[in-house]
Structure formats: structure tokens, C-alpha cells
Structure 1
Amino acid sequence: MPNYAEAYIQYLVHFHAERDYFECHEVMEEYWKEHPEDPCSEACVGLIQVAVSLYHQRRGNRAGAVKMLASSLQRFKDEQLAQLGIDAAEFRLRLQARLRELDNADFVYTDLDIPLQDGALAALCREAAAQAQAEWGQPSDLNDTYLIHKHTLRDRSGVVAERELQKQRRNERRTTGDGV
């Protein structure tokens, strides 16, 4: 079995067991930024976009969902998806089918699974899901307000504090003549 990044395993658990697409985005974006040299970096961005698309779909933002999904399809390269243990042809078919469904005025959200072709990866993810007390393949809890609207309900105090700190540093550099 290839050596998959821990962040990728976490992404797959959030995606398939918890259906927490916001966390998928957070985990994979952090990995992508910290590993720009990763040969699968474009696929990482595509996976982020798929998660964001599903997050938008669940919230009824079809325009945002279509934009992200279409963009993800442009990024994916079959060889990178294969390196990530994904059945590239099947994944593309599922994403294209979802794009067509989103054009339908009667679209009703359903979860989408990433077809894994590496059985050892799937087993590893199922084990990680069980350790997180989550069930692999369970459907989204559409009654979980926090899950559906996480970006507006999460605690952002750390983000706000970091922004304030950076603002203070910029101001200090300006007053001392060392910066911007």
C-alpha cells in the first residue's frame, strides 16, 4: 500500500463517515499549503473543491456548488487520483452526473462517495472512522445545524486573535520603518 498522508486519511474519514465537508476543506487545505511540492497537489485542491461543493449543495447554494464541482473536474488528473487510491474514471462519472443533477430544478441533496480502488486504503479509513466513533458510509445528518452551517457557527476567536496580532505587527513595522 502506498504511504498516504495522514491528512488525506482524515479527509476521507470526514468525507465518508462524518460527512463534515467543512473539516475536509480545513484538513486538506492545511496539508496542501504545507506541502506545495506534493506530486498530487492539484488533486488535493480538487478534493478540497469537491468537499466545498458538497457543503454548498447541502446548504442550497447550487451556483457555488456547480462552480466548485466544475473547477474540480478541470484539476483532476487520472494519474494523481490513482496515486491517491481513487478510481479516477468512476469518480469523474459521479462528479459529472452530480453536475447534471444540479441543473435540475428539483435537485434534492444526497451524499456522494469517492470510489476508492485501494482496498487497503479503504480498510485503513474504516478503522480510523471506527476509532473516531463514526460509521463509514453513514448519510449526512441533515438535521445537524452545526454540521450544515459550520462556517457561520464555529468558534472563530483564534482566527480573529491571529488577524489582530498580524495587524499589530504590520503597524509596528510601519512605525519603525522596517516594512510595508
Structure 2
Amino acid sequence: MYPSEYIHFLAHFHGDRDYFECHELLEDYWKKTDPKNKDSVWVGFILLSVSAYHHRRSNFSGAERTLRKAIMILKLQSDSLTKLGLNKVDFYHLLNRQISALQKGESYRSISLPICDPALLEFAKKACEQKGFIWGNESDLTNNSLVHRHKLRDRSSIIEERTRSLKTRKSSE
């Protein structure tokens, strides 16, 4: 009923709070199922994860800017939120509270998405448990490999792809 990538996204979002992994999971899924659609619900969730990642690192302006983009997309995808087992009214309230916290410069606090489908909640909690995470755990702010993950990863393939893309653009000019 729900894509496994979405269930694993929820497990990470509510378990180990690895927002970088949340981004990776849904980006791969988005590219397979709805490529090039920048208004896809998956892009909205990707941006939500990126915002939480920035907020945890005290990058308030980046977190707010990214969250505003996520909100715009997620409002366009209102029906999809319901189909994905979320209470959209509570979800929008949560997102607006996050914007307010960012504007006030409030420290990061873990959030939980308002899952209203009991079956989805059970699937996501089971996936969380299978990964060895505890559902609803607060983010471990002392875990540098979690908090600063983008700085610690191997970026060679990304750099290669950018170089290849730049060469392609230049040769077509």
C-alpha cells in the first residue's frame, strides 16, 4: 500500500533522525518514480529532511528557506499527504511551528510527523525496530557522523558527475 522507501524514510525520520539518509532514500525513489517533477510530494519530503538537517546544525536561514520551499510543494500535494497516511491539518500546523521556531532562532528539537493511518504507523515502527532504532528517540546531537554527515561522505562521484555535466553543456554551446 505504501512504498517501502517511504516506510524506511519514516523509520529514519522518527528513529535515528538521520535526515541525510531520509533525503537519500526519497531522492532515489523520486528519480525512479517521478523524475524531473520538482513539485512531487517526494521533493517536499526531501526538502523537509534537508531543513531538519540544517536546523540541527544551527543553520537557521538555510533551514527556513528550505522549509518554505517544502511547504509550497506540500501544499500543492495536499491530497497526496492524506494518501500517504498523514493528517494534513496537523502536518501544516507542525510545519508552521517549525517556521516560527526557525525565525526565533530556537534550538533544534526532534519532530514527529502526524501519521494518522494505524497500519502505516505499525509498518514504520516495525521497520524502525528492524534497523535497531527506537521510535520517537530524540536526535543525538553529540553524534558528529549524524550531525555533520554531509562533510564526512565520499563526494567523488558527485564531483565527477558535475564535471561531466559541465563538459556536456560547454560542448553543446
> TM-score scaled to structure 2, two decimals?
0.87
**Mapped pair 1:130 → 2:155:** no
Structure 1 residue 64: deviation in Å?
0.7
Match of 1:17 among 15, 18, 26: 15
**SS of residue paired to 2:40:** helix
What is the alpha-carbon distance in structure 2 between the residues aligned to residue 93 and residue 103 of structure 1? 15
Structure 1 residue 62: deviation in Å?
0.5
Partner of 1:67: 65
What is the alpha-carbon distance in structure 2 between the residues aligned to residue 163 and residue 73 of structure 1? 29
Contact (CA 8 Å) 2:34, 2:40: kept in 1 or not? Answer: no
**SS of residue paired to 1:135:** coil
**Mapped pair 1:141 → 2:144:** no
Partner of 2:153: 154
Unaligned runs of 5+ in 1: 172-178
Equivalence map 1:20-169=2 (5 Å): 20-36=18-34, 42-76=40-74, 77-105=77-105, 107-160=106-159, 163=161, 167=164
What is the alpha-carbon distance in structure 2 between the residues aligned to residue 158 and residue 74 of structure 1? 31
RMSD over aligned Cα atoms? 2.3
Structure 1 residue 145: deviation in Å?
0.3
CA displacement 1:54-81 (0-9 Å, x = unmatched) = 0000011111100111111111132110
Unaligned runs of 5+ in 2: none
Aligned residues: 166
> TM-score scaled to structure 1, two decimals?
0.84
Structure 1 residue 157: deviation in Å?
4.3
Structure 1 residue 14: deviation in Å?
1.1
Structure 1 residue 43: deviation in Å?
1.5
Greater C-alpha radius of gyration: 1
What is the alpha-carbon distance in structure 1 between the residues aligned to residue 154 and residue 103 of structure 2? 34
Residue 126 of structure 2 aligns with an amino acid whose one-letter code is E
What is the alpha-carbon distance in structure 1 between the residues aligned to residue 161 and residue 41 of structure 2? 29
Structure 1 residue 48: deviation in Å?
0.6
What is the alpha-carbon distance in structure 2 between the residues aligned to residue 60 and residue 115 of structure 1? 24
What is the alpha-carbon distance in structure 2 between the residues aligned to residue 66 and residue 43 of structure 1? 18
Structure 1 residue 36: deviation in Å?
1.1
**SS of residue paired to 1:133:** coil
